[in-house]
Amino acid sequence: MNVSIFGLGYVGAVSLACLAREGHKVIGVDVDNGKLGLISEGKTPVVEEGMVELMAMVVASGNVRVTSNAGEALMGSDVSLLCVGTPSAANGSQDQTAVLRLSEQLGRAMRDKATPHTFAYRSTLVPGTVEDVLVPILERESGKKEGRDFYVCFQPEFLREGSSIRDYDHPPFTIVGTNHDECARVLRQIFGHLPCDFHVTSVRAAEMVKYCCNNFHALKITFANETARLCEGLGVDPFEVMELVCRDTQLNISNAYLKPGFAFGGSCLPKDLRATMYLAKQKDVELPMHAGILASNRVHLEHAIAKVLGTSKRRVGLIGLAFKSGTDDLRESPMVYLAEHLIGKGLSLLVYDPEVHLSSLIGANRRFIETHVPHIGGLIRSDLAAVVAESDVLVLGLSDMKTVEALRGCVRPGQILIDLVNVGERTALPGRYIGLTW
């Protein structure tokens, strides 16, 4: 395939070399003549394991050409990979100067191109950039229509400096954000052979996945480092601890707990986080990331409160009260806190939870409810239909499918359902869903 690559830094140079190795005819473009000179001599512009030999080989093969002329590269290729830098501006925003300029140039160059062209943005771009900013620039400058005269997609890059050729050959997955089958078809021809899953999604989701992955990696490193500082303060070997933590592939190194839903609660996570913070304070260890967890959880609870208040309805039915489905444990349940806040705001509340019967609550569980919402007993109903009938808004806080099925028979068409735990993705109740995070 004829491929043009714009921006010959780490991402662009490695992509150029790997694509040429696979037999594609690649034209590299950069504004830096020094980089163009090096590549035309068969030398690598970036220090990366294996690049010296690979660049020499692919340039000698005749599959690589470089130019500073964007129009020439566009005309000589069917697909363009855009890999220019998107560094931080002084205020923390993304500096998109290079990608904006490049898009203007490419838009103008497209005026003279008779055949449809495919653009794959590979630079990391804040969500919304491709559809709201770059496609309009390409359309404006070319006088052509995206989806008819040319195609645009976003394909995040996951290679890491230091192991980029290996990462190119073994990516975690290929993700193409696009509105057109044509983009997926073209990119499958280029990347479909790689030993990983090929996912096609929306442009914005693809842009977001890249940020989410990088943020998650930063979070993991920080988690390990904060744990290590606390371990140091306690005289515990942090490597041994983290090694054992990683051995748990059920709850720790897995997709467990990585699904958006309602705030966490229960008798363990909040209290153990608080104890960790107290311990750190005693040992003079700062753990800002850990400190942020409970604060963030509270913001999530407030988000739910705002969703309920945002409906401007006064009669609210809480479906679920325990901290998770299948238990009657109310200790630090975010549903209890939600009830407390809504009562405080003067809303009229009714509660249904198939597992919670106040008369049978004992011990710490009973004490918790007596302290936090002592009058909640009068609000609990054992009849789901009665709660539904007397509520304008239902707040779904459990994912127990038996209850959800029972709801099917009594929810009124159009009744507002605030779905804290994504019940809506598994059912089709006649109500009007408002998700907690969508």
Ligand X SMILES: NC(=O)c1ccc[n+]([C@@H]2O[C@H](COP(=O)([O-])OP(=O)(O)OC[C@H]3O[C@@H](n4cnc5c(N)ncnc54)[C@H](O)[C@@H]3O)[C@@H](O)[C@H]2O)c1
Q: What would the two tokens of residue 101 be?
A: 């300029």
Nearer to ligand X, 86 or 118 (CB): 86
Tell whether residue 98 is a contact of ligand X (CB under 6 A). Answer: yes
User: Do 208 and 127 contact (CB within 8 A), yes or no?
Assistant: yes
Residue closer to ligand X, measured from CB, 29 or 350: 29
Among 6, 151, 191, 337, binds ligand X (CB under 6 A): 6
Q: Of the two residues 32 and 286, which places its CB atom closer to ligand X in the complex?
A: 32
Task: Work out which of 41, 53, 161, 243 binds ligand X, going by CB under 6 A.
Answer: 161
Number of residues that bind ligand X (CB under 6 A): 25
Q: How many CA atoms lie within 13 A of 71 on its CB side?
A: 10
Helix (H, G, I), strand (E, B) or coil at 67: strand
Nearer to ligand X, 104 or 340 (CB): 104
Contact between 407 and ligand X per CB under 6 A? no
225 Cβ contact list (under 8 Å, min separation 6): none
Catalytic residue among 18, 183, 196, 268: 268
Query: Of 171 and 354, which CB lies nearer to ligand X in the complex structure?
Result: 171
The overall longest dimension of the chain from CA atoms, in Å, is 83
The single residue among 3, 4, 10, 388 that binds ligand X, judged by CB under 6 A, is 10
Question: 329 exposed, middle or buried (CB, 10 Å; 0-12, 13-18, 19+)?
Answer: buried
Identify the DSSP state of 425: G
Q: Are strands 432-435 and 416-419 parallel, antiparallel or unpaired?
A: parallel
86 binds ligand X (CB under 6 A): yes
Find the shortest distance in angstroms from Cβ 320 to ligand X: 41
- Could you tell me the smallest distance in angstroms from the CB atom of residue 2 to ligand X? 18
Instruction: Measure the CA–CA gap between 248 and 233, rounded to whole angstroms.
Output: 24
**Contact assessment for residue 142 and residue 150, using Cβ atoms and an 8 Å cutoff:** yes
352 binds ligand X (CB under 6 A): no
Q: Residues 101-120: x/- map of binding to ligand X (CB under 6 A)? A: xx------------------
The least CB distance from residue 37 to ligand X, in Å, is 13
Transcribe 370-424 into DSSP letters. Answer: HHH-GGGGGGB-S-HHHHHHT-SEEEE----HHHHHHHHTTPPTT-EEEETT-GG
**Three-class SS of 41-58:** CCCCCCCCCCHHHHHHHH
Task: Tell me how far apart the alpha carbons of residues 45 and 35 are, in angstroms, rounded to a whole number.
Answer: 5
What does the alpha-carbon distance between residue 191 and residue 193 come to, in Å, rounded to a whole number?
6
H/E stretch holding 233 reads helix 203-234
| Ranges assigned E (strand) in 55-191 | 64-67, 79-82, 117-121, 150-154, 174-178
Kindly state the smallest distance separating residue 308's Cβ from ligand X, in Å.
Answer: 39
133 binds ligand X (CB under 6 A): no
Q: Of 3, 4, 7, 335, which lies in the binding site for ligand X, with binding defined by CB under 6 A?
A: 7
Residue 39, number of CB atoms within 10 A of its CB: 23
C-beta of 124: minimal distance to ligand X in Å?
A: 4
CB nearest ligand X: which residue? 9
Whole-number Å distance between alpha carbons of 31 and 313: 59
Catalytic: 268?
yes
Q: Is 157 in the site for ligand X (CB under 6 A)?
A: yes
Among 16, 83, 308, 436, binds ligand X (CB under 6 A): 83
| Minimum distance from residue 167 beta carbon to ligand X (Å) | 9
The window from 82-90, 219-227, 248-256, 411-419 that contacts ligand X (CB under 6 A) reads: 82-90
Task: Provide the mask over 12-41, with x wherever binding to ligand X is found by CB under 6 A and - wherever it is not.
Answer: x----------------xxxx--x------
Which part of the chain contacts ligand X (CB under 6 A), choosing from 78-86, 291-299, 328-336, 425-433?
Answer: 78-86
Piece in contact with ligand X (CB under 6 A), picked from 97-105, 175-183, 298-306, 334-342: 97-105
The CB-of-8 to ligand X minimum distance in angstroms stands at: 5
Judged by CB under 6 A, does residue 71 bind ligand X? no
Say whether residue 43 binds ligand X (CB under 6 A): no
Q: Rounded distance, CA 27 to CA 71, Å?
A: 11
Among 20, 58, 75, 84, binds ligand X (CB under 6 A): 84
At a CB cut-off of 8 Å and minimum separation 6, what does 28 contact?
4, 5, 8, 12, 13, 16, 36, 39, 64, 65, 66, 67, 73
Residues in contact with ligand X by the rule CB under 6 A? 6-12, 29-32, 35, 83-86, 98, 101-102, 123-124, 157, 159-161
Could you give the residue numbers annotated as active site? 268
